[in-house]
Structure 1
Amino acid sequence: MSPVIFGSMRMDESKGNEDYWAELLYAAYYAGIDTVHSSSEYESFPLLIKTLKKLALIDKKVKFKHVVKLAEPHFSDSEYSSERLKEKLNDYLTKLQVERLEAIQWMWRSNLPDSKRIESFLDHHKKIRLDLEILKQENLISSALCFPYSVEFMKEALRLQVFDGFCVYRNPKELEYDDILKECDRQTVISIRPFAADKRLISSEGPIHLLDYNFADSAISNTILSISSLSQLNEIKGFLNV
C-alpha cells in the first residue's frame, strides 16, 4: 500500500460527478497513491463505485488496492458471527470488483459499555483469529487491522495478537493512542484523520508538516487522507516525492 491512502468518505456529488472524481483518482494514482479506503456505510460509497467503473474505462492500467471498514458484530448484533463476516467481505469484493482486499479495518461495535465490549471480544477472540487466518489463506484479504474504539480494547487486542495491526486516529489534537503505539511493531498501524479535519490546523502547520508528524512514529505505515481536489493533491505531492 502507498504511504498515503485515498480516503473516500468525503467524496460528494456536490463537488462533482463520477467524471470529476475519476479525474482526481487518476491523478492521485499516478502521483503515487495506489490504495483507496472506503466503507459501504458511507454515503459516498455508491459514488466511489461509479467512479471506479468510469476510471476503468479511462485507463485499464489503474488498479487500486482497497482497505475497507468491516464491523462484525455491528451495533444491532448481540455477538460475533463468522458467517456475517464472510458475507460482508464477499459483498465488498463484488461491489469493488476485486478478488482480494488489501486490508479490512475490523471493529467490534456494540451498544454495551466498553468493558462489556472487551469482555465479549475476549470470549470470541480465538474464533476471530481463526476466521481471519482462513480469509488470508484463501487470498481474500492480505491483512486484518483492528479499529479499537478505545485504548483499553487495543491493549487486549495487542496482547492477544489477533490482528496484523491497527487503525487509529493520530494528529496533534488526538493523541490518546500515542503511548500504546510504542508497544506496536514497526509499520503495523494506519493512522486516520492526520489533519484532524481542522482547516486552522492545516493552515497553521501545513499539510506536509502534519504528514511528517504522523510518520515520525515508527509504528505508522500509512495514513488515510481525504482529498477532494487537484489543488489539495498538489499540496502533498512534495511528500509523495513526485
Structure 2
Amino acid sequence: MGYRTVADIFSQISGTYDFFLKVATAGRIHSWQRELVSLMNPGGNWLDVGTGTGEVLLKLGENYEGLRVGVDPSLEMLRIADQKCGSCFFVQGIGEALPFRNGSFSNVSLSLVFRHLEDKMAFLSEANRLLAENGRLGLIDIGRFRGTFLLLLLMKTLLRPLGVLLFGRDRWSFFIHSVEESYSIEEIENMLRLRGFRIQEVRKRFLGVVYIVVAVRTASGT
C-alpha cells in the first residue's frame, strides 16, 4: 500500500484517532508513550516519525532540552498536532525518506507506526543516518505473538462495530490487515541489528499484544 493511500486513510480518521486509541488501549497508550520517553536519551533533538497528532512530542514537555520535530504523511494529522504543540516543528513526509542532515537527532521514536511502513529496512537505514553516535531509536507497536489470532478475532467481531463507526469499513479493514502483517519481536530485533543497532530494552505490555523496544545506534547502517 503506497504512502499516499496511508496518508489519505489517516487524514480521514484524524478527528477520531485519539479517541479510538484511548478506547482500544483502555487509556494505556499514554502510559506506554511516557514509558518510552523515560527509556530514551534525556536531551537532544527528538524526531517522532508518524507523529500523528503529536502525542509523543507533547509528553517530552515544554522544558525539553532540544528541538521536538514530528514527521507524518497526513497533513490533517499534522494540523491537529500543531494546534496541540505550538512549540514543536512539524514536517509532512515519510519515514523512508527523511529531509534532515546526518546525525541531527539524539532520539527517533515511532508510536504504533512501524508496522505501517512500506519499507521497514529503508526506514531503519534512515534512522541510523539521522541519529548521532549512541542515539536511540524507540518503538511502540503491536507485534505478532501467540495470541495474535485472538486479537484479530476481536477486531473482526467485538471491536468491529466501533471501528467501522469511527473509521468506516474500508479503513477498519486496513487496520486489521496491518495487524495481520505485523512482525514478532524477534524479527524486529534482527532487523535492528542488521541496520547497526544494539538492543537496549524490550518490554511487553497489554498481555503481550504491545511491545516497547529501544535500540542504540552503534554502527553505520547499510
TM-score (norm 1): 0.31
Decide which structure has the larger Cα Rg and report it: 1
TM-score (norm 2): 0.33
